[in-house]
C-alpha cells in the first residue's frame, strides 16, 4: 500500500520525512515536478494543469490518496480539483488544513461559526503565487475572526534552496523577515507557507525573535495524515513499494535530494 506525496521540487521531502517517521509501516510514492519547478511564479491555471498531470501519475502507481506537499498547488489548484476533477474513489489533500487547525486550535470537522482565537497577528511567508491566491486568509476566515494576516512573498528563496546555495537562502530569509517587520513590527506567530522553508526554520526564528511562535508544516501534516488514515484506512490504496519519481534529470535530482536530506535518495524518471 502506498500514499502519494507531491511537490514541484524538493521541499515536499520535508513532509515525506516526517510522514515516514510518524508512519514507518506505510509506503510512500514521492513525485517532484522538478522539470517545471518552481510553481511559485506560475499562473493559477498553469499550476492547476501541472498538478493534475502529476496526480494522474499517482493514480497509475495505485495511490488512491495523494498529499499536495506544495503550498502553491494547495493554494492555486486544490479546491478546483476537489470540486470538479478528483474521482469519487480518490482523495487529494493539501497542507493548509493542518496548519490552520494548529493556529486556531480547532479540528477541521468543527463547523461552528468563526470565533476569536488567541493569536491576533500572523505573518505568512510564502511563494508569490501562494500569497496572490489569498487561500490561507480565506480558509482561516472560515474558522477565526479578528486575525490580522500580513504576507511576505519570498521571491528567490525556493530557487536558492533547490540550488543548494544556503548562504544566499539565509540572506534572503533575513531580508524577507525585515520586509515583513516593516509592515507588521510585532507578529505573534509566523507561518512558513512553503515546504522548503522548514530547512531554514532556525534562521526564520532567529530573525523574527524568540517571542514569535513559528509554525512549520512537516510534523503537523504528518500527524494530520496519521489521524486521517486511522479514520479512513481504505484510502491508503494498494500501490507499490516506496518510490522516488521526478520529471527532471534523475541523477541530478537524486544528488540534490541527498544533499537536501543528508541521506541517500535515488530518484527515477516519472
Residues tagged active-site: 70, 194
- Quickly state the pLDDT bin for 262 (edges 50, 70, 90): confident
97: pLDDT strictly greater than 90: no
Distance in angstroms (rounded) separating the CA atoms of residues 120 and 122: 7
- Percent of residues, the chain, with pLDDT higher than 70: 96
Segment 131-145 shows an average pLDDT of 90
> Which of 144, 135, 137, 3 is closest to 72 using CA atoms?
135
Q: Record the pTM.
A: 0.87
> Which of 193, 200, 199 is closest to 217 using CA atoms?
193
pLDDT at 254: 96
Q: 157-190 pLDDT, tens per residue?
A: 999 988 889 999 999 999 999 999 999 999 999 9
- Quickly state the pLDDT bin for 234 (edges 50, 70, 90): confident
- Quickly state the pLDDT bin for 139 (edges 50, 70, 90): confident
| CA-derived radius of gyration, the chain | 18
Q: 10-46 pLDDT, tens per residue?
A: 999 999 999 999 988 888 999 999 999 889 889 999 9
> Does residue 125 contact residue 193 with C-beta atoms inside 8 Å?
yes
Is the domain spanning 2-94+218-269 CATH 3.90.1150.10? The answer is no
Distance in angstroms (rounded) separating the CA atoms of residues 38 and 7: 10
Same fold, 2-94+218-269 and 97-216: yes
- Quickly state the pLDDT bin for 270 (edges 50, 70, 90): very high
Number of C-beta neighbours around residue 113 at 10 A: 7
Q: What is the mean pLDDT of the chain?
A: 91
pLDDT at 41: 87
Q: Where are the domains of the chain?
A: 2-94+218-269, 97-216
- The cell numbers describing 12, all together, are 515536499
User: Which CATH fold topology does 97-216 show?
Assistant: Rossmann fold (3.40.50)
Amino acid at each position: 500500500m502506498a500514499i502519494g506525496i507531491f511537490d514541484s521540487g524538493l521541499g515536499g521531502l520535508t513532509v515525506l520525512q516526517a510522514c515516514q517517521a510518524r508512519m514507518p509501516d506505510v509506503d510512500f510514492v514521492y513525485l517532484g515536478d522538478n522539470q517545471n519547478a518552481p510553481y511559485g511564479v506560475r499562473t493559477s491555471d498553469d499550476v492547476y494543469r501541472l498538478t493534475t498531470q502529476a496526480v494522474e501519475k499517482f493514480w497509475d502507481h495505485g495511490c488512491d490518496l495523494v498529499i499536495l506537499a506544495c503550498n502553491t498547488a494547495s493554494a492555486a489548484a486544490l479546491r478546483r480539483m476537489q470540486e470538479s476533477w478528483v474521482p469519487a474513489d480518490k482523495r487529494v489533500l493539501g497542507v493548509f488544513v493542518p496548519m490552520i487547525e494548529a493556529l486556531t486550535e480547532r479540528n477541521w470537522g468543527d463547523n461552528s461559526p468563526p470565533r476569536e482565537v488567541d493569536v491576533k497577528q500572523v505573518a505568512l511567508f510564502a511563494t508569490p503565487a501562494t500569497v496572490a491566491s489569498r487561500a490561507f486568509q480565506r480558509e482561516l476566515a472560515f474558522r477565526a475572526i479578528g486575525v490580522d494576516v500580513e504576507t511576505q512573498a519570498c521571491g528567490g528563496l525556493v530557487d536558492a534552496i533547490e540550488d543548494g546555495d544556503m548562504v544566499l537562502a539565509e540572506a534572503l530569509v533575513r531580508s524577507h523577515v525585515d520586509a515583513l517587520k516593516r509592515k507588521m513590527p510585532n507578529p505573534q506567530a509566523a507561518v512558513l507557507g512553503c515546504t522548503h522553508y522548514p530547512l531554514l526554520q532556525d534562521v526564520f526564528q532567529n530573525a523574527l525573535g524568540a517571542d514569535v511562535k513559528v509554525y512549520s508544516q512537516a510534523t503537523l501534516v504528518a500527524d494530520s495524515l496519521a489521524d486521517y488514515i486511522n479514520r479512513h484506512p481504505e484510502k491508503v490504496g494498494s500501490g507499490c513499494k516506496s518510490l522516488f519519481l521526478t520529471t527532471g534529470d534523475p541523477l541530478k535530482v537524486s544528488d540534490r535530494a541527498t544533499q537536501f536530506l543528508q541521506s541517500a535518495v535515488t530518484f527515477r524518471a516519472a
